[in-house]
Amino acid sequence: MSEIILKQLAPRGHLRAAINMGNFLLVTGKEANGDPQGVSPDMAKALAHELGVDIELISFSRPGELADAIFEDKWDIGNIANEPERAKSINFSCPYTLIESTFLVRKHLNFNTIKDIDNEGIRIAVAERSAYDLWLTENIKKADLIRAKSIDESFSIFQEKQYEVLAGLRPKLFDDIKKTKDCLILDESFTYINQCIGSKLNNTEAANFINKFIKKNIDNGFIKSLLIKYNVFGKLSLPKN
């Protein structure tokens, strides 16, 4: 293993991997020792194995907290969704999996497209600082974005306040709609969330190494095997190289 790659990715002799606990598709449980369990932790472990170093998994309850922690040098890699604002301080890899984002809407409003939703007086519940919240912030011009502290809380306020729209990940919205009586999920998607491995800016060798690692593990079927292992294949999709 190249010394410069090890210096960039594991300067302390082990890999500090930040994991977003708020992504229920990529973190599906906890190990007996309390470490996160799922596709995202397993990807980090596989990268540490490739580097030939031990791993330390560092949990963050929300993606925004994980992104902010780079300024305090709390991690070496961060498994988090790519988003333009975050990319100002994080070097994102190519995606290793994709998640579709769309809307849950009240049936009586007769919304069929995203254009129907972006209108005055429409309230959209959304988990704050999620990748799709950041997309909506850039693209929604007329409707009001009502931010909650978590994905589950965004559904709660959508129901309790009878908001018109809930933004979310399509797999989660399929679970949420079972708890409603008057809603539907739009067929149209407003964005695809690219789940990536983030690293520090200007570490070119590390970035190239991570991209090759991801592409190799898409091609050899390892990432698909993780999606199957954690029962999220179909809820998450594989990028095309």
The domain that holds 28 is classified in CATH as 3.40.190.10
Stretch 78-101: mean pLDDT: 93
pLDDT(109) > 90: yes
Q: Please write the tens of the pLDDT for every residue from 45-84.
A: 999 999 999 999 999 998 989 999 999 999 999 999 998 8
pLDDT(237) > 70: yes
Nearest CA-CA partner of 153 in 119, 118, 126, 188: 126
pLDDT of residue 125: 98
pLDDT(111) > 80: yes
Stretch 201-207: mean pLDDT: 95
Q: Are residues 34 and 150 in the same domain?
A: no
For residue 29, the one-letter residue type is G
Which residues have CB under 8 Å from 126's CB, separation 6+? 132, 133, 136, 145, 146, 147, 148, 154, 166, 167, 168
Q: Are residues 113 and 163 in the same domain?
A: yes
State how far the Cα of 53 lies from the Cα of 70, in Å rounded to an integer: 21
Q: Let me know if residue 14 belongs to a domain.
A: yes
Q: Are residues 200 and 184 in the same domain?
A: no
Stretch 193-200: mean pLDDT: 95
Which residues, listed in sequence order, are joined to residue 168 by a DSSP beta bridge?
102
pLDDT(241) > 70: no
Q: Are residues 204 and 168 in the same domain?
A: no
* Inter-helix orientation angle 39-51/204-219, to 10°: 120
Measured between alpha carbons, how far apart are the two ends of the chain, in Å?
25
pLDDT(13) > 90: yes
| C-beta neighbour count of 115 within 10 angstroms | 9
pLDDT of residue 85: 85
This prediction has a pTM of 0.78
Q: Are residues 92 and 197 in the same domain?
A: yes
Q: Let me know if residue 239 belongs to a domain.
A: no
State how far the Cα of 38 lies from the Cα of 54, in Å rounded to an integer: 18
Which residues have CB under 8 Å from 26's CB, separation 6+? 20, 38, 39, 40, 79, 97, 195, 232, 236
Q: Are residues 89 and 105 in the same domain?
A: no
Binned at pLDDT 50, 70 and 90, residue 240 comes out as confident
The residue that leads in pLDDT, 31 or 240, is: 31
Q: Are residues 11 and 34 in the same domain?
A: yes
Tally of domains within the chain: 2
Mean pLDDT, the chain, whole residue set: 94
Q: Are residues 113 and 151 in the same domain?
A: yes
Q: Let me know if residue 135 belongs to a domain.
A: yes
Tokens read off for 130: 């999620």
Domain containing residue 212: 3-97+193-229
3-class DSSP state of 125: strand
Are the CB atoms for 176 and 155 separated by under 8 Å? yes
Q: Let me know if residue 167 belongs to a domain.
A: yes
Q: Are residues 122 and 178 in the same domain?
A: yes
State how far the Cα of 113 lies from the Cα of 99, in Å rounded to an integer: 19
Binned at pLDDT 50, 70 and 90, residue 235 comes out as confident
Q: Let me know if residue 240 belongs to a domain.
A: no
3-class DSSP state of 70: helix
